[in-house]
């Protein structure tokens, strides 16, 4: 895989004249942050050698290079999921590519279902931990080039970045929750008992992404920060039928607040 990564990186570097400092992965319905980026180069996934292609509505499928918060960034407008049929090495391939492009920090966003009884639809939750119920992306042959065989995950989400984000949110009067994200395979939304189970085991919200990307990033020594937008609720008495389209709509409405936090956080790096 290392040779494939280097081939992909070489192609991208032939299109971009600088080294990005920050990587950003945008989740379902959250591609609008791109509007705040001063874009230098935009590359369709389908045009990048060995790069997967997004198959999910709400994930546009572009790798964007530009400036945000005064820093040079690379942003994925659309990510990949295990439920699309991709192996975990493919789902997390872009994170390894971004590492070899030179990023020092990774910021992630997603849409998720809240299981904490105090959460409401539209809330922003800063992720401070996760529970992984998706096949681990590090299963298989180990390449020491990528980092440790058994990476430490005690600081999966940077406490320093979390504190900075909370300070920024408070300054702007933006309400934020903080909690644990449960990563599942999907693509079905959860049953009431599954929601209950996720709450019992320590989850505050549940989704189908982010965790594999963070695991790979941490293996390679990249500090991570992630925000989840609560787009539906898995709380007894508040559970209703939900569609992917509704999830996108809620995410889009809350996106402005998330974008402000992300942009100011990047400016502090």
What ranges do the domains of the chain cover?
A: 2-267
144 versus 30: the higher-pLDDT residue is 144
The whole-number average pLDDT for the span 222-240 is 86
Confidence (pLDDT) at 266: 96
Inform me whether the pLDDT recorded for 1 exceeds 90. no
**What is the rounded average pLDDT of the residues 146-154?**
97
Share of the chain above pLDDT 70, in %: 93
250-267 tens-digit pLDDT: 667 778 899 999 999 999
pLDDT of residue 242: 67
Name, in order, each residue with C-beta under 8 angstroms of 68's C-beta and a sequence gap of 6 or more.
Answer: 22, 24, 33, 36, 37, 38, 75, 262, 263, 266
Rounded to whole angstroms, the Cα distance separating 2 from 144 reads 11
Answer yes or no: are the C-beta atoms of 242 and 142 closer than 8 Å: no
For residue 123, the 8-state DSSP code is -
Report whether pLDDT(45) > 90.
Answer: yes
CA distance to 40, 120, 147, 198, per residue, from 114 (Å): 36, 8, 33, 10
2-267 under CATH 3.40.50.1580, yes or no: yes
Q: Which of 182, 3, 189, 211 is nearest to 95 (CA)?
A: 211
Query: For residue 90, which phi and psi values (nearest 5 degrees)?
Result: -80, -40
What value does the mean pLDDT take over residues 104-131? 94
Which pLDDT score, from 0 to 100, does residue 30 have? 64
Residue 213 φ/ψ, nearest 5 degrees = -65, -40
Mean pLDDT to the nearest integer, 18-46: 88
The strand pairing partners of 105, in sequence order, are 22
Q: What pairs with residue 177 in β-bridges?
A: 125
Mean pLDDT taken over the chain: 92
The Cα–Cα gap between 77 and 62 comes to 5
Distance CA 16, CA 205 (A): 37
Tokens (6 digits) for 121:
């639809």
Global pTM reads: 0.93
Task: Report the pLDDT value the prediction gives residue 247, as an integer from 0 to 100.
Answer: 67
């Amino acid at each position: 895989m290392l040779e494939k990564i280097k081939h992909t990186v070489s192609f991208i570097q032939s299109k971009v004249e600088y080294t990005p400092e920050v990587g950003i992965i945008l989740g379902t319905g959250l591609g609008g942050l791109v509007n705040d980026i001063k874009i230098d180069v935009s590359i369709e996934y389908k045009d990048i050698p060995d790069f997967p292609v997004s198959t999910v509505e709400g994930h546009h499928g572009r790798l964007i290079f530009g400036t945000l918060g005064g820093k040079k960034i690379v942003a994925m407008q659309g990510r990949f999921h295990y439920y699309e049929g991709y192996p975990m090495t493919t789902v997390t391939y872009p994170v390894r590519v971004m590492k070899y492009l030179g990023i020092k920090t990774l910021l992630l966003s997603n849409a998720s279902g809240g299981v904490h009884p105090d959460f409401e639809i539209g809330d922003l939750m800063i992720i401070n931990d996760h529970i992984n119920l998706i096949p681990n992306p590090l299963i298989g042959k180990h390449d020491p080039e990528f980092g440790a065989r058994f990476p430490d995950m005690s600081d999966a989400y940077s406490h320093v970045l979390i504190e900075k984000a909370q300070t920024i949110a408070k300054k702007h009067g933006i309400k934020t929750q903080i909690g644990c994200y449960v990563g599942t395979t999907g693509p079905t939304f959860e049953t009431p008992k599954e929601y209950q189970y996720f709450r019992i085991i320590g989850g505050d919200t549940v989704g189908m992404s982010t965790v594999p990307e963070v695991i790979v990033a941490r293996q390679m020594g990249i500090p991570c920060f992630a925000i989840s937008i609560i787009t539906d609720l898995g709380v007894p008495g508040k559970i209703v039928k939900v569609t992917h389209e509704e999830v996108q709509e809620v995410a889009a409405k809350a996106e402005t607040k998330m974008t402000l936090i992300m942009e100011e956080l990047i400016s502090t790096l």
